[in-house]
Structure 1
């Protein structure tokens, strides 16, 4: 049942009135892009703040402010090195890492004369090695590597797999610092 109310001034609506409900002005062009721009700017700022925070945490800047104590330094325990030995059963490959022609052959002949077993002498993959180094891949050969380094003036010793496929147990790469013994 419909309730009937007395007529009042609000019941007199002009017939030519086409609007119904609240009147809103038409939306201005570009309002959507302005909102999108603000959202994009806020996103960029938040991502930048997050990236800086992660970098600070990863780089160890999480120390408390005012903490001026020096970081503790630990010294590594000295590692035991093998005594230099000369083992005639160990084969050596001599590689010339310099631009000096025939240097690998000369060093190989010198080592053979000193009692070492030289399997091959040739040029290295490049001719600009600065240091003379004895490479060994098996840690049990450290003593022999040190013995070979003692026989070659200025040679260092390095445990490395770089020359493991060279066909010899020790690889001597002659660098530009090599000086022939007089």
Structure 2
């Protein structure tokens, strides 16, 4: 049983259409490049607008006219008070111990003589427990002795100071000077 359908306008297909599939027309050449060109142009325009906006905002912020600029006040900024620097002092009442922290003999005696000539009370001159001290250092255990430590360090070439509890057990010494390898060589007497 064959059914027949009525003929309508969809049954007539033009011969120049060259359709592929049910209702597809072949794509025109170059159509993808047009879409890509429009997308690239839109990207360039948006990036350019963003760069110009940043330059405008940065220029305004640098001039102090932008939205994040701090308000100008007529009061000057408070000046931080400087912590008074500790002045080096020489206190002959303080006991000073001098230790040689190098392999070179006689440095404790030479440094002790230098300190004694500067007015210090050098009570002990000996060798340190280690012989690989690089930098001469004046150790003090009480922060109130910082000025005295600075004064002693000025008498020892290249010496620094350090607040330390390492030498508290040495008894009467208020300052402990450990001579390091940076101490200048002493002149040895010719035989």
Structure 2: gaps (5+ residues):
1-80
The residue aligned with 2:176 is 171
Change (3 A) 1:99 1:158: same
The residue aligned with 1:84 is 88
Contact preservation (8 Å) 2:107, 2:186: no
Alignment of structure 1 residues 1-182 onto 2, 5 Å = 80-167=84-171, 168-179=173-184
Question: Which structure 1 residue ranges, 4+ long, deviate > 3 Å from structure 2?
Answer: 77-81
Change (3 A) 1:95 1:78: farther
TM-score normalized with structure 2 length:
0.52
Query: 2:177 and 2:82 mapped to 1: Cα distance?
Result: 25
Query: 1:127 and 1:136 mapped to 2: Cα distance?
Result: 20
| Bigger-Rg structure (1/2) | 2
Aligned residues: 106
- Cα offset for 1:90? 0.8
Q: Superposition RMSD on alpha carbons, in Å?
A: 2.0
Query: 1:84 and 1:109 mapped to 2: Cα distance?
Result: 19
Change (3 A) 1:128 1:84: same
Query: 1:179 and 1:81 mapped to 2: Cα distance?
Result: 28
Structure 1: gaps (5+ residues):
1-76
Contact preservation (8 Å) 1:131, 1:175: yes
Query: Secondary structure, in 3 states, of the residue corresponding to 1:158?
Result: strand
Query: Secondary structure, in 3 states, of the residue corresponding to 1:112?
Result: helix
Query: 2:115 and 2:86 mapped to 1: Cα distance?
Result: 21
Task: Map Cα deviations across residues 122-172 of structure 1 (whole Å, 9 max, x no partner).
Answer: 000010000100000011100000000011111001000011112200000
TM-score normalized with structure 1 length:
0.54
Contact preservation (8 Å) 2:98, 2:178: yes
Change (3 A) 1:166 1:78: farther
